A and B are shown apart, each in its own frame.
Chain A
Amino acid sequence: MSIDLSQFKQTFLEESEEGLEVLESGLLALDSGTADDDVIHAVFRAAHSIKGGSGTFGLNEISDFTHIMETLLDEMRDGRREVSQKLINVLLGSVDVLRAMLDAARDESDIDVAQVEKAKAQLAAELNSDNSEAETVATQQEKKVVTEIDNDKIGWKIVFTPFEDMLKTGNDPLRMLTELSYLGKYEVVVDDSKLPEFYALDPECSYLSWSIYLYGEIEKEEIEEIFEWVDGECDLSIQKLSEVLPTDNADLHLKQANIHQQEQAASTTVSKVPEDNPVSITPTKRNKNKGTSDPVIANVQATVDKKTEKVKEQTKPVVNKRKSADSSSSIRVGTDKVDSLINMVGELVITQSMLSQLGEDFDETSLEKLRDGLAQLERNTRELQESVMRIRMLPISFAFQRFPRVVHDLSQKMGKKIELRLSGETTELDKTVLEKINDPLVHLIRNSLDHGIELPAERIRANKPEIGIIHLNAYHMGGNIVIKINDDGAGLNRDKLLQKAISKGLVDANDNLTDEAIYELIFHPGFSTAETLSDVSGRGVGMDVVRRNIRELGGNIDVKTEIGKGTEFTIRLPLTLAILDGQLIRLGKEIFIIPLVSIIESLPINLQYVNSIAGFSEVYQLRDEYIPLIRLSSILNIPSEFTRLDEGLLVVVEADGNKAGLFVDDLLSQQQVVIKSLESNYKRVEGISGATILGDGTVALILDVSGLVDLVRDKKQLSSVVGL
C-alpha cells in the first residue's frame, strides 16, 4: 500500500512556518532573559514538531537538521545546558537555515547544501562543547554494532510472565502471542499456577504466564520488538534454543501433557497450537537478510550508498526551480469564522424560501411581507459579505512577529540598544494587504533603527535613556487600519533635508516650503539623507518605494517628527482590497466612483474664490487655504454637462496630506462597490484605480485620488494622461 503524502505537505509547511515563528520569538525571549519555562517548552515543541513532520513527509535533510537543534533545545529545557548569547545566536542562525530549507521544500528547489552544512557544523560545535552527550551517542552506536545475531541457531525459547497489572496499560498478552505466531512455527505452554481460586480472581489482573518455543531463523530483535511495549510490565527471557538446557527443554513435553489435562479449567486466551505442528525442529524458509547478515557490513553499505547519493544530489544541475502555484493560495481560518459563515448561509436559505413562497401566490396584501423579506435578504447579504470578508482577515501579529528578530540582529550589529514595543497585534486585516505591507514595515523599522535611534553614548549626552524605543502600534479607525511606527530617536533634521533637496535640484532654494513639505521630501524618489549608505537601510530603494507600495494597497503614509524627540510614521490602509465604500459622481453621462475615505467635503462653487494661476490652471480658496481645482472632464477627456464652475459641485479630496478639489456635475448615491482590477482586464490607467459593476449592470470606473492629486502637483500634461 502506498499513500500519497504530498497532499498534507502543504499543511505541514504552513504549520512549520508558525513553528519557525515560535522558535524565533522564543529564542529572542530567552536571549533577553524574559523567558519562562513555558517559552522553552514551546520552543522545544516547535522544533520537535518540525522534525517529526519533516521525517514523516520525506524531508530527511530537514529532519536531520532539526534533530540537532532539538537535542540542544532538549538539554536547555532540562537545564543541562546553560543558555548563552552565543548559543542563542547559533540557534537563531539555524532557524534561518531551517526556514530556507522549508522554503526550498515548498518551491521544490534545491537546498543550499553548503549553508546547511555550515549551520550543522556550528550546531554540532555547540553540542560538543559539552562532551557527555556526544559520548553517549557514540557508545549507543557501538552497542548496536556489537549486538550480534547468531544465525546458525534455529529457534528461541521465550518465557513471558506478565505482571499482574499489565492489562491496565491496554496491553493484551494475546496480541503478543498472536504476533509471535506470525514469525514462525511455535508452541506455547501456559503456566496457570498463579491463577487463584475463582472467588479470589480479579478480572483486571493477569495471572498466567507462558513459555513459547519459536522455531526458525528469527532475529532476536523481531521478538524483542513484539514485547517492546511491555518492557517493565513483565518478566521476559529470550533464550536461544541451542542454549536452553535439555532439562528446561524437557518441561515442554511435561507441560504439554499438563495443558491437555487442564484445557477446560484454564481460562487461557491463547490461540491453540495446531495439532499437526511438529515438535521437532524444522528449519524454515525464512531467509531475511540474505547476503547482508553481518550488520557491520550492512551498515557500511548503507553509508556508502548515502554518500554517493549525496554526491549525486550536489552535482545535480539546478533545474526546474518551479514555484508551486498553490504556495500561498491557502489560508487557515478559525472555525468560528467558518461557523458564522455557515450560519449566515442557513439564514439566507430561509429568506430565499420565504420569498419564493411569497411569489407563488402573490397579491397586493402581501406587499408588506415582500418588503420585509427583501429587507431581510439585504441584511443576510450584508452579513454574508462581512463573514466572507472576515475569512480573509488575519491578525497583524503575522507581520509583527518577524520584527523582534530584525531589531535584535540589527541593534547588535550597530551597537545600539533598542527596545521594540508592539501593541495592537490582534488587529485584523486582509491577507493580501498583510503580505504586501510586510516589506514596507521592515523598511521603516530598519530606517528607525539606522537613522532614528542614536548610539547609546549620544543618547546619554542628549539626556535620554540609553535604550531607545521603537513602538509599533496597529488599530482600526473608521474603515481603515492605522499602523504607527514611532521612535524616540533624533528626529528628522529639517535644514539637512532642505539642503540636500536643494543640492539634488529637487526644490528651489527660493521655494518657501512648510515643514511638512520638507519632511515629505523623504518620500521623493532618489532621496537619501544618510551620509554613507549602510547595508541596513538606504540601499537605493528608499522611502519612495515604501510610499508606492502603500499606495498600491490603496493606503497612504505620512510622517511627523520633532528634532531630538523622535519620528512617527503613520500608515493608513484599507481593511480590504476587495470592497470599497464609494461615492458615485456623475460627469456628463458617465458615472465614476470616488473612494469615500478620501472625500473631505463637497460644496457648491463660489466663483469669487476661484483664481487662475499661470501654468497651474485653477485654484480654489477653501476657507484659508488654496487647493488645486481639477476639472475631471478635461483630465478624463469626457464631455461634462456643465462647464461653468458654479453650475456643478466641488468634491474636496485629500491624499497623502494634499488636498484638491474635483469639479463634477453631480453627486449621486454612496454605496459599497466590489473592486475589479482594470489592469488584469484591460491595462493600467493613470488616475483610475479600478472598475466596478453597478446595480444596474453598468461598469463604472473608480478614481485613484492620490494619483489624480499627484498628476496635478507634478504639473504633468493633463490632457495626455488618460488614454481610454
Chain B
Amino acid sequence: MGKKILAVDDSASMRQMVNFTLRGAGFEVDEANDGNMALAAVQKKQYDLVLSDINMPGMDGIQLVTALRKLPNYKFVPILMLTTESGADKKTQGKAAGATGWIVKPFNPEQLLKTVKRVLG
C-alpha cells in the first residue's frame, strides 16, 4: 500500500500531472480543487503528505495550511507548497502558517518525485 498524498490545485492540468507522476511511482493520490475541498478530503482519509498550490480561488494554500495545522491529525504531516520563484513572500507566509517546504514551479515530474521522496522517504 503506497503512501497517501493529497494534491490540491485549482489547475486541472497541474493536478493531473502531479497525480500521474506520483501514482506512477506507487503513491496513492487524491485530488482537490481548492482549500475547502482539501479540508473535506482530509476528514475522510489520513494522508501522509499534502501538496498544495498557493494561489487558488476561495480558500488559498496558506489558509489551507493554517487550517490543517489546527487539526490534531495533521499537526506534523508534511505539507509542501507549490509555488513560483516570484512568490518569495508567499514562501515566508506559507512557512509561518506551518508549511513544511515548497516545490518551485515550474517543475518537471522528476523534480516533483525527488522532492516528494525527500519528504516521504
Contacts and interface: CB of A to CB of B under 8 A. Distances in A.
Interface of A: 1-3, 5, 7-9, 11-12, 15, 42, 44-45, 48-49, 51-57, 63, 67, 70-71, 74, 167-171, 175, 178-179, 204, 228-229, 231-233
Contact of A52 (B98, B102, B105, B118): B105
B3 interface: no
B71 interface: no
A170 B95 contact: no
25 contacts: A1-B109, A1-B110, A2-B109, A3-B24, A3-B110, A5-B109, A8-B16, A12-B13, A49-B10, A51-B105, A51-B106, A52-B105, A55-B105, A56-B105, A56-B106, A168-B75, A168-B98, A169-B79, A170-B79, A170-B98, A170-B119, A171-B100, A204-B76, A229-B95, A229-B101
A54 B109 CA distance: 14
Nearest to B24: A3
B12 A169 contact: no
Contact of A8 (B13, B69, B106): B13
Interface of B: 10-14, 16-17, 20-21, 24, 55-57, 69, 75-79, 82, 84, 86, 92, 95, 98-102, 105-110, 113, 118-119, 121
Nearest to B98: A169
A56 B95 contact: no
B84 A42 contact: no
Contacts of A233: 95
4 tightest A-B contacts by CB?
Answer: A55-B106, A229-B101, A170-B100, A12-B13
A5 B12 CA distance: 13
B11 A53 contact: yes
B119 A15 contact: no
Contact of B76 (A11, A168, A229, A232): A168
A3 B22 CA distance: 11
Nearest to A174: B121
A346 to B, nearest CB: 24
A204 B84 contact: no
B76 A170 contact: yes
At the interface, is chain B mostly helix, strand, loop or mixed?
mixed
Contacts of B119: 170, 175
B84 A51 contact: yes
A232 B98 contact: no
Nearest to A71: B86
Nearest to B102: A229
A175 B118 CA distance: 7
Contact of B14 (A44, A53, A71): A53
Given A71-B86, A170-B100, A3 B78 contact: no
Contacts of B12: 11, 15
A5 B17 contact: yes
Contact of B17 (A42, A56, A67, A228): A56
Contacts of B121: 175, 178
A167 B10 CA distance: 28
Given A52-B106, A169-B99, A229-B101, A8 B11 contact: no
Contact of A42 (B14, B16, B57): B57
A167 B76 contact: yes
Contacts of B75: 168, 204
Nearest to A1: B110
A53 B18 CA distance: 12
Contacts of A52: 11, 14, 82, 84, 105-106
Given A56-B108, A71-B86, A1 B13 contact: no
Contact of A45 (B57, B77, B101, B118): B57
Nearest to B111: A56
B106 A63 contact: yes
Among B13, B75, B101, B106, residue most surrounded by chain A Cβ atoms (within 10 Å): B13
Nearest to A49: B11
Contact of B106 (A54, A175, A228): A54
Interface centre among B16, B17, B110 (most CB of A within 10 A): B17
Contact of A49 (B55, B86, B101): B55
Given A53-B14, A56-B106, A3 B76 contact: no
Contact of B77 (A12, A54, A170): A170
Contacts of B107: 56
Contacts of B105: 51-52, 55-56
Contacts of A48: 55, 84
A305 B30 CA distance: 41
A45 B55 contact: yes
A3 B20 contact: yes
A205 to B, nearest CB: 12
A70 B87 CA distance: 11
Nearest to B50: A170
A685 B13 CA distance: 44
Given A1-B113, A8-B17, A170-B119, 9 more contacts: A2-B109, A44-B55, A48-B55, A52-B84, A56-B17, A67-B86, A168-B98, A169-B79, A170-B78
B81 to A, nearest CB: 10
B109 A3 contact: yes
A51 B98 CA distance: 26
